[in-house]
């Protein structure tokens, strides 16, 4: 079954899977299979060459039309889990459950979307990519810490990806004037790594993570602080 899926990378790169269920299953597999992801990247670079080989300039009028059209087309923002519309519960459970679940996450998101809405599926999946990118790393490590005032914080960190995914559960609700600020802490001191989102059940990805870093969470004014001003409610090491 899994072997079967691996061999689909070629057909997928050629857009030759016309069965939506089969394609989704492969896409879900892709999110958790480094081999297929790498292979697909190479395959798409290869099939692009097949396309370049048949280049043929379009009529000049098309250029004018396209350039006029884009003036009315809003550009999408970069992918960011903060902006992503995800199902909170599933996220929290999945991240807490650890790495192997990355593929299931994407499947869960894909299933139940109407068959011909492939574009929307693509967009939804793009939103998961940043988290899946860390979760699917071969060197990803997870750790959970119990917070001082109750609740837990879970991290999944990957040195090769240089990023850490942070998810929380059951943390004390803060007044709107306060926020949970994240810090990456090592011998050089703490660096701010953003905030836990207001929708606390969503994971966030913090960049520039190194294996020497520990993740700390402090309560800060809603606008954030340059340096921690309170004692961390939790301090987690991923190694």
Partner 1 sequence: MSDPMRPRVRNAGGTAFRGERGMPAETRPPGDGLVSGQDADALLGRTARGDERAFEALYDVVAAPVHGLARRVVRDPAMAEEVTQEVMIEVWRSAARYDPERGGAMAWIMTIAHRRAVDRVRREQAAGEREARAVHHGTGAAHDPVGERVEARLEHERVRRCLRTLTHLQRESVTLAYYGGHSYREVAELVGAPPNTVRTRMRDGIIRLRDCLGVER
**Cβ-contact 191, 208 below 8 angstroms:** yes
Q: Which two tokens stand for residue 60?
A: 């000049």
Residue 52 has phi, psi (to 5 degrees) of: -60, -30
Choices 35-43, 66-74, 81-89, 99-107 (CB under 5 A): range interacting with Zn ion: 35-43
Among positions 21, 34, 35, 45, the unique one binding partner 1 when judged by CB under 8 A: 45
Find the shortest distance in angstroms from Cβ 234 to partner 1: 31
Q: Which residues neighbour 45 within 8 Å (Cβ) at sequence distance 6 or greater?
A: none
User: Which is it for the CA torsion 25, 30, 32, 33, positive or negative?
Assistant: positive
Does 56 interact with partner 1 (rule: CB under 8 A)? yes
Find the shortest distance in angstroms from Cβ 124 to Zn ion: 21
Does 118 interact with partner 1 (rule: CB under 8 A)? yes
Which CB atom, from 103 or from 164, has the smaller least distance to Zn ion?
103
Among positions 13, 28, 33, 184, the unique one binding Zn ion when judged by CB under 5 A: 33
Which CB atom, from 55 or from 187, has the smaller least distance to partner 1?
55
DSSP class of residue 192? E
Could you give the CA distance from residue 95 to residue 165 in angstroms, rounded to a whole number?
8
Which CB atom, from 11 or from 104, has the smaller least distance to partner 1?
11
What angle (nearest 5°) sits at the alpha carbon of residue 99, between those of residues 239 and 196? 75
Could you give the CA distance from residue 160 to residue 34 in angstroms, rounded to a whole number?
13
Choices 44-52, 93-101, 144-152, 231-239 (CB under 8 A): range interacting with partner 1: 44-52
Give the binding site for partner 1 (CB under 8 A): 7-11, 13-19, 41-59, 62-63, 65-67, 69-71, 73-79, 118, 126, 129
């Amino acid at each position: 079954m899994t072997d079967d899926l691996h061999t689909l990378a070629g057909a997928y790169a050629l857009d030759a899977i016309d069965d939506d269920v089969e394609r989704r299953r492969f896409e879900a597999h892709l999110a958790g299979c480094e081999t297929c992801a790498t292979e697909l990247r190479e395959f798409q670079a290869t099939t692009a060459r097949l396309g370049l080989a048949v280049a043929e300039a379009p009529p000049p009028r098309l250029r004018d039309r396209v350039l006029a059209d884009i003036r009315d087309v809003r550009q999408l923002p970069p992918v960011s889990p903060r902006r992503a519309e995800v199902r909170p519960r599933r996220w929290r459970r999945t991240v807490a459950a650890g790495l192997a679940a990355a593929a299931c996450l994407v499947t869960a998101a894909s299933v139940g979307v109407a068959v011909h809405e492939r574009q929307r599926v693509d967009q939804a999946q793009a939103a998961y990519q940043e988290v899946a990118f860390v979760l699917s790393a071969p060197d990803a490590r997870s750790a959970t810490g119990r917070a001082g005032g109750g609740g837990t914080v879970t991290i999944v960190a990957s040195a090769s990806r240089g990023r850490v995914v942070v998810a929380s559960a059951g943390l004390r609700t803060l007044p709107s004037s306060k926020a949970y600020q994240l810090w990456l802490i090592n011998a050089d001191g703490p660096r701010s790594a953003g905030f836990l989102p207001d929708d606390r059940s969503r994971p966030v990805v913090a960049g520039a993570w190194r294996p020497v870093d520990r993740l700390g969470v402090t309560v800060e004014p809603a606008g954030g602080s340059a340096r921690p001003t309170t004692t961390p409610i939790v301090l987690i090491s991923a190694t």
